[in-house]
Amino acid sequence: MRLEGKTAVISGAGSGIGRASAVAFAREGARAALLDINAEGLRETIATIAAAGGSAFSIETDMTRQDAVESAFAEALRQFGRLDIVFNVAGASGRRWGDGPVAECTLEGWQRTLDVNLTSAFLGSQCAVRQMLQQPEGGSLINLSSVLGMVGGDADFGTHAYAAAKAGIIGLTRAIASYYAPDKIRANVISPGLIATGMSKRAQSNETIRARLPQLQPLTGDFGAPEDIALAALYLGSDESRFTTGAVLTVDGGWTAR
């Protein structure tokens, strides 16, 4: 029960990494508010947690809208009275809007991809920090980035707005970590490699990418699991990481070590 007595807000909790993290946090004793624009996905996550005896509630939330995010965090505070952990997971590939290599990326693709990935993290971070500043013991903020925010992608990973957004999350989080360290607010990043979620279906069905996995992620030569990221978030949310801030924790099977 590593999070017993703690409260958490997790965005993007309706599927994938967000769902796995919500389940892991509840299993370890946290009371959680789960945010996602996907109401059906949230219901499934809540059902999974309830079946395991955990405690959580959901709020349908568009993480790109300031009013929606502020309202969701206000509801979490009404329920909990405090926020110990905030994990900003919400994000999406921008290919559907026109993201791609910079010479081909559309302006809509650029703007929508940054909104869904970077603006959502900014709004979640802002609400988290504003509340944690009012708590003498601060809190733990965790933001989800990607290996593509750290290293360049080749033709198989040519989504430059997505890469810029994920790099922006790293810069934002490290700035928060430095500025708010005296307030006992910890801010850290998790940067996953290829994880078997709904968002990576394109890569999972691409035989060229699958054949490259032993090179890309040599530790296993395979996709990671959402639970791999959830366990990293569990560490960063718990008191075990009390001396850790400004870190970029790569959970990528060796991708960025090459």
Whole-number Å distance between alpha carbons of 57 and 53: 13
Is the Cβ–Cβ distance between 142 and 88 less than 8 Å? yes
Is the Cβ–Cβ distance between 247 and 176 less than 8 Å? no
Active-site residue (options: 162, 179, 180, 235): 162
Has 162 been annotated as catalytic?
Answer: yes
Tokens linked to 194: 């290829």
The residue among 197, 207, 245 whose CA lies nearest residue 90 is 197
178's CB contacts (< 8 A; 6+ apart) are: 246
Give the bridge partners for 191, in sequence order.
Answer: 250
Please identify every residue annotated as catalytic: 162
